[in-house]
Amino acid sequence: MLPVLLFIATALAQAVNEAPATAPSTAIVAPVGERGARLMVSGVVVASDGAPVPRASLYVYQTDAEGYYGAKPANDNRNPRLKAFLRSDARGAWSFETIRPGSYPNTRVPAHVHFEVSAPGFVSRIFEIVFEGDPFITDAMRKNPVFSVRPIETGGRVTERIVLQRRTPAASR
């Protein structure tokens, strides 16, 4: 439980990486030819009332199929090789093509894709998609909002609905 609490505290204290204003709503994170099972990850960014959040910033990054962020043996998640900056479209939609990431070498950490999402007037959200069926997913992860356990559907499709909370005047200070 302590590692999960430390991760949450760290995630809350981190600054969110902001996508350039001109970032597209779609991207290729892992180029064709990258080793690993292909995935198409897509979804929407919405407010808590269900309204789309257009032009939300998304920074996504992940390991390669062997669990490395950079060329082996580098494993620096501050400078990942597989990453993209996106902006949601007018409907709040976004998508990217990638590969299924690997777990970190010699660990019991589930394979995951990192998300950092922000938009003006909303509280930023940092979380990870982990994949249903991964043997390293714990019951605690399933209950923790820092993790989103998602199935890989037919054709390698993964969907995620990202809900952002509106910033209150008190939270703006």
Per-residue pLDDT tens digits for 122-162: 999 999 999 999 999 999 999 999 999 999 999 999 999 99
pTM of the shown model: 0.88
Residue 110 tokens read as 């589930």
pLDDT at position 169, please?
Answer: 77
Residue 33 tokens read as 């030819």
For the chain, domain boundaries: 2-168
Residue 59 tokens read as 């920074």
Per-residue pLDDT tens digits for 31-40: 999 999 999 9
Per-residue pLDDT tens digits for 75-98: 888 899 999 999 999 999 999 999
pLDDT at position 170, please?
Answer: 67
Average pLDDT for 60-89: 93
Q: Are 7 and 14 in contact (CB under 8 A)?
A: no
CA proximity to 160, closest of 104, 122, 114: 114
Whole-number Å distance between alpha carbons of 61 and 82: 6
DSSP label at residue 108: -
Instruction: Classify domain 2-168 by CATH number.
Output: 2.60.130.10
